[in-house]
């Protein structure tokens, strides 16, 4: 027999929305608001657009929706430069729209997680504008990192730190002082040693918790505290050290006391609200520090995201993740794509390396085949999984955007990150036709390729071979199988070179990362596969770049 996957899974209200420990094995879907759905035809996604598409997310089978920033912002870095943490930017709507979205999500059995950006504000935040206007000695300057420069006339930056986006991490103001910004100059870093900063963010947490959100994804969670005295790093090309080495501005031990205070606030609210850390650390063991029982609930597993499609490397990072999380009692989290990295359908097209460019149709097919297989592997692992909008459609990065269309600030700084994050942020297609393939009535803020018509939700719905239906079925099977979801153990099985095979209760997963088909035992009843699998006389022929699920029940 041969089988790829079940027919479309029926719509249902996610059961985990009613559970007290829902976050331990939740599947959480990231919405990038400007690129999800546009309700008013201005080419930019908005909260009302998201609200109208919530039934799609319920039917996909996810448990929660994480919204990237929609706060009032000059949009120097796509909303990660916040001018007012208690207001919705007019391009996305208003607070009434946010309230309606949260209420509708709850009615559909979905939870809403919002982004929180505590490392830095916009340079248009009222605090920063006053700090600049009031000059040296202003109390407001103590809420940021203002310093005199070095050199005879203060013409040199206070230290050698570099921006993540390239160039110095310091900008000089007209009165001669410099301020710190680990990202764009429009994003000055808060000074978390000042009590007013902590007071403000505790108030912001309560504001959104009172609005009914179910949690917060903490942007740059590793960056709030800087080493005392802001010491020189002593090396250049510092971006290459990120996540690989100890940095005086990242992963300082002082961040953990902040999160202990935050956890006390969250625990006052019913319904098991959660924190999720974006924490780039040198090791998964350091990441585990963020999810100790009195701190945060989850932390993104960037070590897993950065791993090549290779059985040996994947097994190593899976084992290390489970071992690191076990002592702190936190669930592992798994993620393959987000708004800051090359989509895995492109990344796996011609490994190694993040940022690989697709050159041929063959590359596209290979990347999609590996992406489908990688998704089934991820969803079979114990813990929680994150899905980035559009990956369920098999979308690749858009790699041929014209220079005049790009908006990533890293692109214009000409250094630091590669500046090509726009490629994973192109608005997703909903229909085969229309000015933006159903995204909105007035085009889209980044142009979509014409071939995306056949990758749209409309084109893929009901096609049993489509990536969308694979995701729908995988999430339904994952929910139905007792061996999947929460836990911290996998039982590795003997397998050919290039193949991962493991058991979890009555569930067995086999992932062939190699370039040739392999023969394995048929471990039971075939549940799902990312490609065609032939079973004969108790054996299964698993094609290259294919993942298979069985049950022994």
The predicted structure's pLDDT at residue 46: 98
Mean pLDDT of 477-489: 90
The predicted structure's pLDDT at residue 356: 45
**Closest CA relative to residue 467, chosen from 368, 347, 542:** 368
438/426 Cα distance (integer angstroms): 13
123/447 Cα distance (integer angstroms): 29
**Closest CA relative to residue 260, chosen from 226, 297, 296:** 296
Which residues sit opposite 319 in a β-bridge? none
432/512 Cα distance (integer angstroms): 33
Mean pLDDT of 338-347: 92
Pairing of strands 491-492, 384-388: unpaired
Using DSSP's 3-state secondary structure scheme, residue 11 falls into coil
pLDDT, tens digit, 9 for 90 and up, residues 381-429: 999 999 999 999 999 999 888 777 777 766 665 543 455 788 899 999 9
The predicted structure's pLDDT at residue 240: 66
Residue 291 exposure: Cα atoms within 13 Å on the Cβ side? 31
Torsion of CA 173, 176, 182, 187, to 10 degrees: -20
Mean pLDDT of 267-275: 95
Which residues sit opposite 114 in a β-bridge? 67, 216
462/128 Cα distance (integer angstroms): 52
What phi, psi does 430 have (nearest 5°)? Answer: -105, -30
Between helix 195-211 and helix 95-107 the angle, nearest 10°, is: 50
What phi, psi does 358 have (nearest 5°)? Answer: -75, 130
pLDDT, tens digit, 9 for 90 and up, residues 124-157: 999 999 999 999 999 999 999 999 999 999 999 9
The predicted structure's pLDDT at residue 235: 80
Mean pLDDT of 492-519: 97
Specify whether the CB–CB gap between 376 and 385 falls below 8 A: no
pLDDT band at 61 (very low <50, low <70, confident <90, very high): very high
Q: Which residues are catalytic?
A: 219, 268
211/442 Cα distance (integer angstroms): 31
The predicted structure's pLDDT at residue 421: 85
Higher pLDDT, 405 or 517: 517
The predicted structure's pLDDT at residue 414: 53
CA 461, 466, 468, 474 torsion-angle sign: positive
pLDDT band at 540 (very low <50, low <70, confident <90, very high): very high
The H-assigned helical ranges of 16-85 are: 47-52, 54-60
The token duo for 108 is 């559909």
205/268 Cα distance (integer angstroms): 12
153/151 Cα distance (integer angstroms): 5
The residues near 291 (Cβ < 8 Å, ≥ 6 apart) are 277, 297, 298, 299, 325, 328, 330
The predicted structure's pLDDT at residue 167: 87
Neighbour-count burial for 149-175, b at 16+ CB within 10 Å, e otherwise: beeeeeeebbbbbbbbbbebbbbbeee
Average pLDDT, the chain: 91
Pairing of strands 64-67, 27-31: parallel
pLDDT band at 236 (very low <50, low <70, confident <90, very high): confident
The residues near 151 (Cβ < 8 Å, ≥ 6 apart) are none
Q: Is the pLDDT of residue 67 over 60?
A: yes
244/349 Cα distance (integer angstroms): 25
What phi, psi does 551 have (nearest 5°)? Answer: -130, 140
- What is the number of residues in the chain? 553
What phi, psi does 188 have (nearest 5°)? Answer: -65, 135
* Burial of 196 from C-beta contacts in 10 A (0-12 / 13-18 / 19+): middle
pLDDT, tens digit, 9 for 90 and up, residues 89-131: 999 999 999 999 999 999 999 999 999 999 999 999 999 999 9
537/317 Cα distance (integer angstroms): 34
The token duo for 282 is 């040198």
* DSSP codes, 362-416: HHHHHHHHHHHHHHHHHHHSSSEEEEETTGGGTPPP-----GGG---HHHHHTSS
pLDDT, tens digit, 9 for 90 and up, residues 283-314: 999 999 999 999 999 999 999 999 999 999 99
Which residues sit opposite 215 in a β-bridge? 113, 274
The predicted structure's pLDDT at residue 541: 97
The predicted structure's pLDDT at residue 245: 73
Specify whether the CB–CB gap between 200 and 97 falls below 8 A: no
pLDDT, tens digit, 9 for 90 and up, residues 36-53: 999 999 999 999 999 999
Euclidean distance between the first and the last CA atom of the chain, given in angstroms as a whole number: 19
215/275 Cα distance (integer angstroms): 6
Element (H, E) at 547: strand 546-551
Which residues sit opposite 111 in a β-bridge? 64
375/365 Cα distance (integer angstroms): 15
């Amino acid at each position: 027999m041969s089988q790829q996957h079940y027919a479309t899974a029926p719509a249902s209200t996610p059961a985990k929305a009613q559970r007290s420990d829902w976050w331990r094995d939740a599947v959480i879907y990231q919405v990038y608001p400007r690129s999800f759905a546009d309700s008013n035809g201005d080419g930019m996604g908005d909260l009302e657009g998201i609200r109208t598409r919530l039934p799609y997310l319920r039917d996909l089978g996810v448990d929660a929706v994480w919204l990237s920033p929609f706060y009032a912002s000059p949009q120097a870095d796509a909303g990660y430069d916040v001018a007012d943490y208690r207001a919705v930017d007019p391009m996305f709507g208003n607070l009434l729209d946010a309230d309606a979205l949260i209420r509708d999500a709850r009615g559909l059995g979905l939870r809403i997680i919002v982004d929180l950006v505590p490392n830095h504000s916009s340079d248009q935040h009222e605090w920063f504008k006053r700090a600049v206007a009031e000059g040296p000695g202003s109390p407001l300057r103590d809420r940021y990192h203002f310093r005199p420069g070095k050199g005879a006339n203060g013409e040199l930056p206070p230290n050698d730190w570099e921006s993540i986006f390239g160039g110095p991490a310091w900008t000089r103001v007209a009165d001669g002082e410099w301020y710190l910004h680990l990202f764009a100059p429009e994003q000055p870093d808060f000074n978390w040693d000042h009590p007013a900063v902590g007071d403000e963010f505790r108030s912001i947490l309560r504001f959104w918790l009172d609005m009914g959100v179910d949690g917060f994804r903490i942007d740059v969670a590793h960056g709030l505290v800087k080493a005392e005295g802001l010491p020189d790093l002593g090396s250049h090309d510092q971006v290459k050290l990120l996540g690989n080495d100890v940095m005086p501005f990242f992963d300082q031990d002082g961040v953990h006391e902040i999160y202990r205070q935050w956890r006390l606030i969250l625990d006052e609210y019913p319904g098991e609200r959660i924190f999720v850390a974006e924490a780039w650390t040198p090791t998964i063991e350091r990441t585990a520090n963020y999810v100790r029982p009195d701190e945060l609930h989850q932390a993104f597993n960037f070590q897993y995201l950065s791993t090549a499609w290779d059985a040996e490397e994947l097994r190593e990072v899976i084992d290390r993740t489970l071992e690191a999380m076990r002592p702190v009692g936190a669930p592992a989290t798994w993620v393959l794509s987000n708004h800051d990295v090359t989509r895995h359908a492109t990344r796996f097209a011609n490994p190694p390396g993040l940022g690989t460019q697709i050159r041929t149709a063959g590359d596209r097919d290979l990347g999609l085949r590996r992406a489908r297989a990688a998704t089934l592997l991820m969803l079979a692992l114990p813990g929680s999984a994150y899905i980035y909008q559009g990956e369920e459609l098999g979308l690749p990065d858009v790699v041929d955007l014209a220079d005049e269309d790009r908006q990533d600030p890293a692109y214009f700084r000409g250094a630091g990150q590669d500046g090509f994050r726009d490629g994973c942020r192109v608005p997703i297609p909903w229909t085969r036709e229309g000015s933006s393939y159903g995204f909105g009535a007035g085009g889209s803020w980044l142009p979509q390729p014409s071939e995306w018509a056949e990758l749209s939700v409309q084109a893929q719905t009901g096609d049993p071979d489509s990536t969308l239906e694979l995701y729908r079925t995988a999430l339904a099977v994952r929910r139905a199988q007792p061996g999947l979801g929460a836990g911290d153990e996998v039982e590795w099985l003997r397998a050919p070179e290039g193949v991962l095979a493991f058991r979890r209760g009555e569930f067995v997963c086999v992932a062939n990362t190699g370039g040739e088909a392999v023969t394995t035992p048929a471990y039971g009843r075939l549940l799902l596969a990312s490609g065609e699998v032939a079973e004969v006389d108790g054996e299964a022929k698993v094609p290259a770049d294919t993942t298979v699920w069985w049950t022994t029940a």
